[in-house]
Structure 1
Amino acid sequence: MSFERAAEISVYLKKYTVGIAGCGGLGSNCAVALARAGVGKLVIADYDIVTIHNLNRQYYFHDQIGRLKVHALRENIQRINPDVSVKAFDLKLCTSDIVDLYSKCDVIVEAFDKAEMKYMIIETVLSRIPGKPLVVGVGMAGWGNTNLLHCRYSENLIICGDESSEVSESLPVLAPRVGVVANMQANEVLKILLKEFKPVHE
Structure 2
Amino acid sequence: MAGEGRQLAPMSAEVVDSNPYSRLMALQRMGVVEDYESIRSKTVAIVGMGGVGSVAAEMLTRCGIGRLLMYDYDSVELANMNRLFFRPEQCGLTKTEAAAQTLSGINPDVALEPFTMNVTSVSGFEAFKASLCHGSSQQSRVDLVLSCVDNYEARLSVNQACLELNQGWMESGVSEDAVSGHIQTLVPGRDACFACVPPLVVASGIDERTLKREGVCAASLPTTMGIVAGLLVQNALKHLLSFGQVTGYLGYSSLKDFFPRMDIKPNPGCANALCRQRQAE
> TM-score, normalized by length of structure 1?
0.81
Report the CA distance between 1:109 and its aligned residue.
0.8
Mapped pair 1:186 → 2:216: no
- The equivalent of 1:129 in structure 2 is 165
Report the CA distance between 1:7 and its aligned residue.
7.5
Per the alignment, do residues 47 and 112 of structure 1 end up closer, same or farther by CA in structure 2, a change over 3 Å counting?
same
SS at match of 2:114: strand
Report the CA distance between 1:195 and its aligned residue.
0.8
Matches of 1:101 and 1:58, distance apart in 2 = 27
The code of the aligned residue for 2:82 comes to N
CA RMSD, Structure 1 to Structure 2 (Å): 2.9
- The equivalent of 1:200 in structure 2 is none
Report the CA distance between 1:167 and its aligned residue.
6.1
More helix by share: 1
Q: Residues 140 and 177 of structure 1 are in contact (CA less than 8 Å); yes or no, is this contact kept in structure 2?
A: no
The code of the aligned residue for 2:117 comes to L
How many residue pairs match? The answer is 192
1:52-107 superposed Cα distances (whole Å, 9 cap, x missing partner): 00111242001111111111101111111111110111222232122111131000
Per the alignment, do residues 91 and 75 of structure 1 end up closer, same or farther by CA in structure 2, a change over 3 Å counting?
same
Matches of 1:135 and 1:33, distance apart in 2 = 16
Which shifted more, 170-179 or 15-24? 170-179
Residue number among 9, 23, 26 corresponding to 1:5 in the alignment: 26
- The equivalent of 2:61 in structure 1 is 35
1:17-59 superposed Cα distances (whole Å, 9 cap, x missing partner): 0011121112111101111111111011212110000111242
Q: Percent identity?
A: 24
Per the alignment, do residues 65 and 14 of structure 1 end up closer, same or farther by CA in structure 2, a change over 3 Å counting?
same
Report the CA distance between 1:170 and its aligned residue.
7.9
Report the CA distance between 1:140 and its aligned residue.
3.5
Matches of 1:153 and 1:196, distance apart in 2 = 15
Matches of 2:43 and 2:89, distance apart in 1 = 29
The 5-angstrom pairing of residues 1-202 of structure 1 reads 3=23, 4-6=25-27, 11-93=37-119, 94-103=124-133, 104-126=141-163, 128-130=164-166, 132-144=167-179, 149-156=181-188, 163-164=203-204, 166=211, 169=216, 172-195=219-242
Matches of 1:99 and 1:143, distance apart in 2 = 31
**Structure 2 gap ranges (5+):** 1-14, 16-21, 30-34, 134-140, 245-281
Q: Residues 143 and 176 of structure 1 are in contact (CA less than 8 Å); yes or no, is this contact kept in structure 2?
A: no
Report the CA distance between 1:196 and its aligned residue.
7.0
SS at match of 1:14: helix
Structure whose CA Rg is larger: 2
Report the CA distance between 1:10 and its aligned residue.
5.3
Matches of 1:195 and 1:77, distance apart in 2 = 25
Matches of 1:170 and 1:63, distance apart in 2 = 23
**Structure 1 gap ranges (5+):** 198-202
Q: Residues 71 and 115 of structure 2 are in contact (CA less than 8 Å); yes or no, is this contact kept in structure 1?
A: yes
Q: Residues 20 and 109 of structure 1 are in contact (CA less than 8 Å); yes or no, is this contact kept in structure 2?
A: yes
